[in-house]
Amino acid sequence: MANETEVAAGATEQSVREALATVHDPEINRPITEIGMVKSVEIGDGGSVKVAVYLTVSGCPMRETITQRVTDAVSAVPGVSGVSVELDVMSEEQRRELSTLLRGGAPEREIPFAKPGTLTRVYAVASGKGGVGKSSVTVNLAAALAADGLKVAVVDADIYGHSVPRMLGVEGRPTQVQDMIMPPSANGVKVISIGMFTPGNAPVVWRGPMLHRALQQFLADVYWGDLDVLLLDLPPGTGDIAISVAQLVPNAEILIVTTPQMAAAEVAERAGTIALQTHQKIVGVIENMSGMPCPHCDEMIDVFGTGGGQTVADALTRTVGATVPVLGSIPIDVRLREGGDDGRPVVLSNPDSPAGAALRTIAGKLSGRQRGLSGLSLGLTPKNKF
């Protein structure tokens, strides 16, 4: 065995570590060299390399992915003839250090999106009643925004009717590192849901305080990283979760989803009016199931009537005293339903379909409002030159 810093068939410890710096942990999405996951590097005669890697927890669900990423990165180093990866597990002290590093020294139980000056846009997707496709809209907007290159996450805050993981195709489970939770992801979107913590399809029978606590944990204890957009899929109506969101993330902006049906529009209007009490901004209204193309002549059939989205937008504009636009209308499309059942959002599987195109247009309007420093206080005080 040669010394680790010696040249071995063109490969050096430095070149191997530089390659390892390009390997990101799939859950934390930061270089494994930066978060203390590289235990050791040994270079043998003939260019064989042995890399020891710390996993954050025993039984890490991403162990095979990490092993493959390390193998691929090191194999690409000139002079390396073979790679073996040895896995170990972090000690309690190492996990505490990692938790502190990821929090940036911030105190525990702090919600990063609620801090003044946050650059993450938070959208609470609400509806007056169930069955209007709120979760389908949330999932597809998230997938479309991620496909546009934004860093996106979804909190499935519909505690009683959680469905986001299935609709987004998330199969992984959260990993706990000390007091932090690493969320699984799919299609470039990080997701957390109460369904990931309940056995099978068991119902959640909780009241207000427990719901508030669960939402607080989703926002404060999950390691989200640096996000551009966070979407909250709220339960229908104006209950405990809507109030908790206003308390925990007061800067969250509201997206209202309705159908063209007047009965649904009236209820959606009530859901939007809560913004007056919580002092939140309404971004706009999304009309789902706006019509169905006739399979024979392509003429739109108004299955659920017409005008509900515009009616809600006009009523909320009068109520809040600021313009509330209709961001878009999404036609009935069987591919939208199929994508939700199969975990393949229609904006990805059929982006040019009527529903896919409409959802991508709405996502484009939201991404056009992406974060920036304009209007934020930077906490700087100019020096007096005199």
pLDDT at 191 over 60: yes
Residue with tokens 């059929």, as numbered in its chain: 350
| Domain 112-367 superfamily per CATH | P-loop containing nucleotide triphosphate hydrolases (3.40.50.300)
What residue spans define the domains of the chain?
A: 13-90, 112-367
The most confident of the ranges 241-250, 274-283, 340-349 is: 340-349
pLDDT tens, position by position, 58-112: 777 788 889 999 999 999 999 899 999 999 988 888 887 887 787 666 555 678 8
Q: Give this prediction's pTM.
A: 0.73
pLDDT at 378: 39
Closest CA to 268 of 133, 144, 364: 133
Residue with tokens 């809600």, as numbered in its chain: 312
The residue that leads in pLDDT, 35 or 160, is 35
Mean pLDDT score of the chain? 82
Residue 228 near residue 121 (C-beta atoms within 8 A): yes
In whole angstroms, what is the distance from residue 127 CA to residue 263 CA?
Answer: 12
Beta bridge partners of 176: 181
In whole angstroms, what is the distance from residue 355 CA to residue 330 CA?
Answer: 5
Provide the Cα torsion 198, 233, 123, 327; round to 10°.
160
pLDDT at 99: 77
Please name the residues in contact with 226: beta carbons below 8 A apart, sequence gap of 6 or more.
151
CATH assignment of 13-90? 3.30.300.130
pLDDT at 52 over 80: yes
